[in-house]
Structure 1
């Protein structure tokens, strides 16, 4: 990702109509958007769809970026909103079927078992209520502090802690 000063320059120029600056801004932040979408959705093709949607949408919403938050925090929010929109449209189109690979436990290697357990936990996290899921993914998936997560979620730090507490309780029951 680009240094904040470089991003600020590209944002300013893009808002003024500089197409090359807009293209550079999108290119610099594309991996960040993709990684964030993938963390929430868990499927690369879905994350790529959301990433493309965010990049196209940036052209129309960038003028609304007022700089009160950092560009990255603002982009998190834009990406999370796109993820939620995608999830809602997917739910309307079809019921998501569980995609758990059936592997005979006796043939499973220790690494495979750990990887499957981690994948199962993240799958369960994605099933949590929206605020709990967002808090867990921001803090544990993106390795942000509670304060950074609170800025992105537009709530108080203590609220993020509460959502994580509730998520842990729910996951304990599920797992």
Structure 2
């Protein structure tokens, strides 16, 4: 069942047809019309508002890539449900891979911390605090301190500039000091 708004907005079928033909304004209107719907579905399935926002943005990109292939056999919302649930599953798989990677890096970081004379408890606290860092900061710290890469090497691995890696490391150090202080380790 296609959604038609009461305020005189163009019907979905017309917007979809125009968007399929490359009309950016029609595509923008579709995204605007359904963005909250996609975000709500993503939030229900992911349980995370931040992930739901990322998923909604990814779905918008996917709509742009595949609107021309939309056949219109079913409701547009059904197509969006399928696309959104696929994006949720993709995010869950990505998060599982990232968690496994972080745990592997964490084992290395703990080994390095133990070699530096830290107690097991302090090492565990440090790793817990590193896991609490935002993704990019955590990755930069683990690549530079856990893997022993230079900032340039970490930049290549993360596909960002060396200056950005340095900034992430700087911000991570500030945040780690606060987190370690809160944990009673500093």
State TM-score, norm by structure 1: 0.52
**Contact 1:34-1:47 within 8 A present in 2 as well:** yes
Task: Give ranges in structure 1 of 5+ residues lacking alignment.
Answer: 96-175
**What is residue 59 of structure 2 aligned with on the other side?**
54
Report the equivalent of 2:91: 86
Moved over 2 A (4+): none
Question: Aligned runs of 1:3-152 on 2, under 5 Å?
Answer: 3=4, 6-94=11-99
**Number of aligned residue pairs:** 96
Aligned partners of 1:38, 1:86: CA distance in 2, in Å?
A: 12
Q: Deviations over 1:49-105 (max 9, x none)?
A: 00000001111111111011110101100000000000000001106xxxxxxxxxx
TM (normalized to structure 2)? 0.49
RMSD: 2.0
Structure possessing the higher relative contact order (Cα contacts under 8 Å, 6 or more residues apart): 1
What's the counterpart of residue 126 of structure 2? none
The whole-number CA distance in structure 2 between the counterparts of 1:37 and 1:31 is 10
Deviation for aligned residue 1:2: 4.3
Gaps of 5+ in 2: 101-186
**Residues 2 and 28 of structure 1 are in contact (CA less than 8 Å); yes or no, is this contact kept in structure 2?**
no
